[in-house]
Amino acid sequence: MSDTIEKIKCLIIGSGPAGYTAAIYAARANMNPVLYQGMQPGGQLTTTNEVENFPGYVDGVTGPEMMVQLQSQAQRFGADIRDGWATKVDFSGDIHKVWINDKIELHCETVIISTGASAKYLNIASEQHYLKMGGGVSACAVCDGFFYRNQEVVIVGAGDSACEEAHYLSKLCSKVTMLVRSEKFRASKIMEARVRKTENITILMNHDTVDVLGDEQVVTAVKARNKTTGEVFDIPATGFFVAIGHQPNTEIFKDYLTLDETGYIVNTPGTSKTNVNGVFVAGDAADHVYRQAITAAGTGCMAALDAERYLASKD
């Protein structure tokens, strides 16, 4: 542990639209925010090739470019943006203690958590290749479905989110093939019924994804296996959507903050407040419903305003 303890008025853990927006508002309020970017600076949007649904970008913008702009905007107002990630916290007292990289100890008056959530993938080599290339693999139909208008796509998943995303894609794509890895859906009956009655959704139960095929640049098909018969076949597709869930990046907070059954931080409805005074949450670390850049940015604003009011109440 470091022999030197740094005192911070407002610490923001994690970047992305939530963290950077919180930093912009906190800096403008003279809260001298310090933001640690985490293990994936810029968050999930850095893996998104095109963002066309964020207001103000008439011609769209790449995810990494948007994050650079948000970071620069926060720094223009004086936010202190640093590399590193939180590895341990202690929220048991009035002073909130956070350790960075297991070395740097911070004592914070307020903490804004914007650590986000990570999409779960199948971790097939080809899936990861085309994900990094921006060539046809996605974990967000709402974000990327538009790019596959009138095309054929494949989606893997069995829960409510998978059904919701398949139904969303069915309105844009000529054909949606849904691969369900077991013999039954995990989704609610109403969501299962919705996809089953949608004409351009083909449901293949008890099927695995073997490989994602393409020309090294873009996806052209998905290789699937019938787990009952062993048959392996190719499904023509230009897009492969993975909807098998998200994992909120909240493990280090579990001993102090109230989490729901899947690990998302529970906030007081209509606010960014957690069960610990002076600790606030923004973005996908608390949002398992919307998971959009614009909603994350909105909650980042809320967290900074809530933190500012908390500090004012202590004066």
Residue 163 among the catalytic residues: no
Name the catalytic one among 144, 284, 287, 306.
144
As to burial, measured by CB atoms within 10 angstroms (0-12 exposed, 13-18 middle, 19+ buried), residue 9 is middle
Residue 60's contacts (CB-CB under 8 Å, 6 or more residues apart) are: 50, 51, 52
Name the catalytic one among 10, 108, 143, 173.
143
**Strand, helix or coil at 146?**
helix
Phi first, then psi: give them for residue 172, nearest 5 degrees: -110, -35
Half-sphere exposure for 269 (CA within 13 Å, toward CB): 0
Phi first, then psi: give them for residue 193, nearest 5 degrees: -60, -35
Residue 150's contacts (CB-CB under 8 Å, 6 or more residues apart) are: 172, 173, 174
Residue pair 107/6 in contact by the 8 Å Cβ criterion: yes
Q: How far apart are CA 258 and CA 255, in angstroms?
A: 8
Residue 215 among the catalytic residues: no
Name the catalytic one among 140, 163, 173, 306.
140
* Beta strands 219-226; 207-214: pairing state: antiparallel
Phi first, then psi: give them for residue 191, nearest 5 degrees: -70, -40
Residue 208 among the catalytic residues: no
Q: Mind giving me the DSSP string for 225-274?
A: EETTT--EEEEE-SEEEE-S-EEES-GGGTTTS-B-TTSPBP--TTS-B-
Q: How far apart are CA 10 and CA 13, in angstroms?
A: 10
Active site residues: 140, 143-144
